[in-house]
Structure 1
């Protein structure tokens, strides 16, 4: 980017609206990520968003809006695509171990380059379908790659017994909440106000049910 200042100001204004405080170094690295995404997007078509200012809103701020709800030491971002929300969250919480999962080869190549370029020591990339991923995580994020029932059916085994699934949705997903599979319960639904984004956003937080925990049915 020849001139990052307008993008920096847009990001700073958004962070202020979200009541988030990131240090100067982290802000520059968030912009480095957008710079890298812009360069790769020309050839790899990683995201339909082409305008760098819109990338600040739709990729960075949309991701960072869930930062206050991220807990624990590990996070898996399923169907991460170009690294959303996993990379912005990893930059904001460098102590967090982040596992980026996507089955698309081009996107996985970009993710590996982003990890190297941004020096994300605690981030790993899995070029894999979500159902083939091993391990368990304190937090799982997923942004609109499937219904709640499908996501939990494919990857519910990845959630630690006391973990939280952070499902990012647009409109309030009442039909999906009604169809939640057994073994899981909705802990909360938060409406997210993403600065500059003229669209509804909801965060659905899901945990394992107490009945399932008591029965010891988790992996």
Structure 2
């Protein structure tokens, strides 16, 4: 099966109807990720089909849950420790109503995301090279991460950037019971959502958190 066909099948399984142009942008993101990784080691996964499943579809599997949370409204999203732009770039392509800022401490990774935004003509995507706890930006209604840090560190490093009433969205593998137990007393988990990633036989979940009122 070609990458394009597998992407199409994966999107059907996720119930994410995307245009041919959006699907082309997603595949171009993978092409750029593979190209840059030869020099900058942005990802350890190099085989194209594995990149599609473990990076792209793994990120997109969280998008329906995100849209249920936002109601499909225009929303500013901060993707922390974005690396090669996952899930931030995938979100920006597949959900144009989102204004996505990807922040990473590694300059080459932030530069890569900025290049993707330029080459794929994504006005709703921007990159920031900074430690997230030092990032200067208006508060975000939604802050997400994928394979970034333990939950207590994630919320502590980003709490100054969370808008009042906002939510944290952490993409995890297995249910992180120990991390949840270690969360600060003023942070609550209001939902844990199990995900099924097409072609990936592994546990995935989203941990939704917010500041206690």
Answer yes or no: is the 8 Å Cα contact 2:111–2:127 preserved in 1: no
The DSSP-based 3-state class of the residue aligned with 2:145 is strand
Among 116, 119, 138, the residue aligned to 1:117: 119
Structure 1 ranges of 4+ moved more than 4 A: none
Shift of 1:85: 0.2
Q: Which residue of 1 aligns with 2:128?
A: 126
Give the TM-score normalised by the residue count of structure 1.
0.90
CA distance in structure 2 between the partners assigned to 1:127 and 1:37 by the alignment: 18
Aligned length: 206
Are residue 51 (structure 1) and residue 24 (structure 2) matched? no
Are residue 42 (structure 1) and residue 29 (structure 2) matched? no
Among 4, 7, 11, the residue aligned to 2:3: 7
Are residue 87 (structure 1) and residue 89 (structure 2) matched? yes
**What's the Cα RMSD here?**
1.2
Shift of 1:161: 1.3
Among 179, 195, 213, the residue aligned to 2:198: 195
Q: Which residue of 2 aligns with 1:155?
A: 158
Structure 2 residue runs of 5 or longer lacking an equivalent are none
Structure 1 residue runs of 5 or longer lacking an equivalent are 211-219
For residues 3-51 of structure 1, what are the alpha-carbon distances to aligned partners after superposition, in whole Å with 9 as ceiling and x for unaligned?
A: xx70011111111111211111111111111111111111111000101
Q: Which moved more, 1:178-187 or 1:124-133?
A: 178-187
